[in-house]
Amino acid sequence: MTSSSKTTHNYNPTNTPAWKTLEQQAEKAQQQNISDFFDQNPQRSSQMSVQSGELFLDYSKNLVSDATWQALLDLAAQSLLEQHRAAMFSGEKINTTEGRAVLHGALRAEVGDQTVASAAAESDQRVSLVKQQLADVELVSEKIRGGQWFGSTGKAITDVINIGIGGSDLGPKLACSALQEFAHPDIKLHFISNVDGAEILTTLKKLNPETTLVALASKTFTTHETLLNAKTARNWFAETLGLENAQSSSHFVGLTANRANALAYGIPADQILEFAEWVGGRYSLWSSIGLSIAISIGFEKFTEMLAGAREMDLHFQQAPLTENMPVIMALLGIWYSNFLDAQSNAVIPYCERLLLLPSYLQQLDMESNGKSTTLDGESIDYQTGAILWGQTGTNGQHAFFQLLHQGTRMVPIDFVAAAVDNLSNEEHHRVLLGNMLAQASALMCGQEAPEGEPYRYYPGNKPSNVLLLDQLSPKNFGALIALYEHKVFVQGSIWNINSFDQWGVELGKKMANQLLASDSGVQAELDPSTTALFAHIKKCQE
């Protein structure tokens, strides 16, 4: 936090009265059963559900008594959550280690959303800037969709390759997959992220260079993996079309917060789509990084996605804690991680188009909250950050659900589904949703083993949330992603950590550069095992 925010000094969640109460509640929870809570309170299902827009959350199947839930709400109230939330939406530099504001909310805001008078004028200026930048996204995306963007030989673009990594890849790729119902019928999107050359070389072999456009997505325009893949694409254009400087042709556009670096790379000025420096990578799909989304579903649908996220932003800021969907999900995660020793969380979408949702949330959650130092620079002696994983149902039922039902580990689950699916039919969708609801019920209720067959025992008492979208529309997809963004923020705030830097990825990059430099005679200061392994690889390649 900046000096204008309430100081974080001396705040430690473990010192709050609520934390002490929750430790006592955790001891009682060992003897409690979720099913009993329903017997004690027939209204539990309705009381422990909340709706925001067209998202409906039922959190009644959690190992949370009324007393525990009140203590969790008290924890949120006794934390710095409300101050941190106000600081974020006001544009304060809450990313303290990098001296940056955290304003992905401004990417979908409207003029007048900011109610704090001191920050309103600056907020409206940010909104205007974002509108200008998104106007460029609209211009380029609609030109491509309309067959009016031509390659060097005069042919219209039919394939777009988004080259990026991390937030410049995961968000757009998820959105295009999730919203394929609305995809352009004649333009195909391809996503390249991994530095593994097989990925891009295999993709390029399938495409016609005359009708291919590369969207080079990099906040800084210095990302090593992205630039290496871009180099391979440039070489492809040179070999097939004779374009020695393909990056300066109509086959490349740049998506970046560093215009100067994009220009230096050779991208034409009018083919650079900018976004602000205060946009974090894993929060950037709402910006010009989302060009591929706008190309796929159209700019009008893209703005509907932004509107859904904005709706969730307003809900997060305005709803009381007891009815606040991101806060509720965050508190449940803290309960299991910090008090019941759950080591991981699963996200199980019952929708094949949301196959990439767990991968996207892994970066959002684990890169944000995988921290061991507080905002005050103190070492942490409590758990932060969840290990998140998942797969679509019903596929998961024939894989890891065995462990979820009969294993010894507690794994809280988020089940996610759309109540209506226009791409499916009544029979398929009824069976799909029936399976999801049955799994959530079976995990909670369990089953006694028949006489002499202990291996058929289901202990039950396994917690889950059920998150239903009315349908998987652009608006609801936007709200879904914003919901998880804010859930991660709430947890980071209560844990008193910086959810918006990612210094943990730097050391591996540095050591990789040292190792690769050793090929040029530079001595790498690495451990003996790594040095020996590198030597073995080189020997195999000789």
β-pairing, 159-163 with 55-58?
Answer: unpaired
Distance from C-alpha of 464 to C-alpha of 455, rounded to nearest angstrom: 23
Residues of the chain with pLDDT under 50: 1-8
State residue 120's pLDDT score: 80
**Nearest Cα to 330, choosing from 412, 404, 231, 272?**
412
Instruction: Give me 36's structure tokens.
Output: 């009993």
Phi, psi dihedral angles at 160 (to 5 degrees): -125, 125
- What is the token pair recorded at 525? 């200061």
67's CB contacts (< 8 A; 6+ apart) are: 25
The DSSP bridge pattern shows strands 272-274 and 344-349 to be unpaired
Q: How many other β-carbons are positioned within 10 Å of the β-carbon of residue 137?
A: 23
**What predicted TM-score, i.e. pTM, was given to this entire model?**
0.95
Asked whether 502 and 363 are in contact (CB, 8 A), the reply is no
CA distance 401 to 463: 14
- Pairing between strand 344-349 and 387-389? parallel
Beta strand spans in 226-308 (E): 252-256, 272-274
Tokens of 149: 């963007």
Return the active site residues: 367, 398, 509
Q: What angle do CA 293, 503, 192 make, to 5 degrees?
A: 30
Determine the 3-state secondary structure of 91 from DSSP: coil
Residues written for the chain: 542
Do the strands 55-58 and 464-471 form a parallel or antiparallel pair, or are they unpaired?
A: antiparallel
Please write down the HEC assignment for all residues of 26-42: HHHHCCCCHHHHHHHCC
- Rounded to 5 degrees, what angle do the CA atoms 80, 83, 86 make? 145
**Are the C-beta atoms of residues 251 and 269 closer than 8 Å to each other?**
no
> Would you say 79 and 494 are in contact if contact means Cβ atoms under 8 Å apart?
yes
User: 7: which 2 tokens?
Assistant: 């100081």
289, two tokens: 């990084």
How far CA 5 is from CA of 8, 103, 179, 277, 290, in Å, comes to 8, 16, 39, 22, 32
Q: What are the residues whose beta carbons fall under 8 Å from the beta carbon of 58, sequence distance 6 or more? A: 45, 48, 49, 465, 466, 467, 468
Work out the burial of residue 21: count CB atoms within 10 Å of its CB; fewer than 13 is exposed, 13-18 middle, 19 or more buried. middle
Among residues 313, 214, 221, 224, which one has the least CA distance to residue 275? 221
